[in-house]
A and B are shown apart, each in its own frame.
Chain A
Amino acid sequence: MTKPAKRKSRLPLVAAGVLVVVLLLDFFLKSIIPDSSIRQLLMLAACNVLVALSLNIINGMAGQFSIGHAGFVGIGGYTSAVMASNLHASLGGGEVTFGKSFIVVPLCLCASAGVAGLFGFLVGLPSLRLKGDYLAIVTLGFAEIFRLVIATAQANDGTAKVGILAKIGSGLSSLGGQNGYQGLNNQGVPLYAGPFWVFGLAFVLGVVAWRIKFSGWGRALRALREDEIAGAAVGVDPTRYKVTSFVLAAVGAGIAGGLMAMMRDGTPTVNPDNYNFTASFDAITMVILGGSGSVTGSAIGGVFITFTIKAIELLQSSSVVQDLKRSIEGLDLNALRMIVYAMVLVALMILRPEGLLGERELFQKKPTKAPAKKADQA
Chain B
Amino acid sequence: MSDLVLQGVSKNFGGLRAVGDVSFTVKDRSIFGLIGPNGAGKTTVFNLITGVYKQDVGSITFAGKDLKPLKPAQIAAVGVARTFQNIRLFAQLTVIENLLVACELQKKAHLAAAVLRLSAHYEDEEQMNERAMELLRVFDLQDVAEEPSTSLPYGNQRRLEIARAMMLKPKLLLLDEPAAGMNYGEAEGLKTQIRWLRDTFDLSVVLVEHNMQVVMGVCEEIHVLDHGETIAHGNADEVRAHPKVLAAYLGEDDEEDAPRAGKAEMA
Interface residues on chain A, number (Cβ under 8 Å): 36
B260 at the interface (CB under 8 A from A): no
Is A229's CB under 8 angstroms from B93's CB? no
A226 and B119 in contact, given A215-B114, A235-B105, A370-B125 (Cβ under 8 angstroms) = no
Is B115's CB under 8 angstroms from A232's CB? no
Is B92's CB under 8 angstroms from A222's CB? yes
Q: How far is the CA of A294 from the CA of B118 in the complex (A)?
A: 24
Is B114's CB under 8 angstroms from A217's CB? yes
A208 and B115 in contact, given A230-B89, A235-B73 (Cβ under 8 angstroms) = yes
Residue among A208, A223, A231, A237 with the highest chain B CB neighbour number at 10 A: A223
Is B90's CB under 8 angstroms from A232's CB? no
Interface 1/0 per residue, A219-253 and B, CB below 8 Å: 11011011101111111111010001000000000
With CB as the reference atom, state the residue of chain A lying closest to B77.
A235
Is B114's CB under 8 angstroms from A235's CB? no
Q: How far is the CA of A184 from the CA of B266 in the complex (A)?
A: 65
Is B72's CB under 8 angstroms from A232's CB? yes
Checking A6, A223, A231, A235 against B122 with a beta-carbon cut-off of 8 angstroms, the contacting residue is A6
A368 and B94 in contact, given A234-B102, A234-B167 (Cβ under 8 angstroms) = yes
- Residues in B with CB closer than 8 Å to A244 are 111
B152 at the interface (CB under 8 A from A): no
Q: Count contacts between A and B, CB distance < 8 Å.
A: 121
Is A233's CB under 8 angstroms from B82's CB? yes
Is B116's CB under 8 angstroms from A232's CB? no
A369 at the interface (CB under 8 A from B): yes
B146 at the interface (CB under 8 A from A): yes
- Residues in A with CB closer than 8 Å to B82 are 233
Is A220's CB under 8 angstroms from B115's CB? no
Interface 1/0 per residue, B85-121 and A, CB below 8 Å: 0001111111011101111110100110011111101
A329-346: which residues lie under 8 A (CB-CB) from chain B? Answer: none
Interface 1/0 per residue, B27-52 and A, CB below 8 Å: 00000000000000000000000111
Is B146's CB under 8 angstroms from A367's CB? yes
B36-87: which residues lie under 8 A (CB-CB) from chain A? Answer: 50-52, 71-74, 76-77, 81-82, 84
- Residues in B with CB closer than 8 Å to A235 are 73, 76-77, 102, 104-105, 168
B156 at the interface (CB under 8 A from A): no
Q: How far is the CA of A210 from the CA of B121 in the complex (A)?
A: 15
- Residues in B with CB closer than 8 Å to A161 are none
Checking B92, B104, B116, B168 against A220 with a beta-carbon cut-off of 8 angstroms, the contacting residue is B104
Q: How far is the CA of A232 from the CA of B50 in the complex (A)?
A: 9
Instruction: Please name the 7 residue pairs, one residue from A and one from B, whose CB atoms are nearest each other, closest first.
Output: A215-B114, A5-B119, A232-B72, A237-B73, A234-B102, A235-B76, A230-B88
- Which B positions have Cβ atoms within 8 angstroms of A? 50-52, 71-74, 76-77, 81-82, 84, 88-94, 96-98, 100-105, 107, 110-111, 114-119, 121-122, 124-125, 128-129, 146, 164-165, 167-168
Q: 23 pairs across A/B with beta carbons < 8 Å?
A: A4-B117, A6-B119, A208-B115, A211-B115, A215-B111, A217-B110, A225-B92, A226-B90, A227-B89, A229-B84, A230-B89, A231-B101, A232-B52, A232-B72, A233-B72, A233-B81, A233-B88, A234-B102, A234-B168, A235-B76, A236-B101, A237-B71, A367-B94
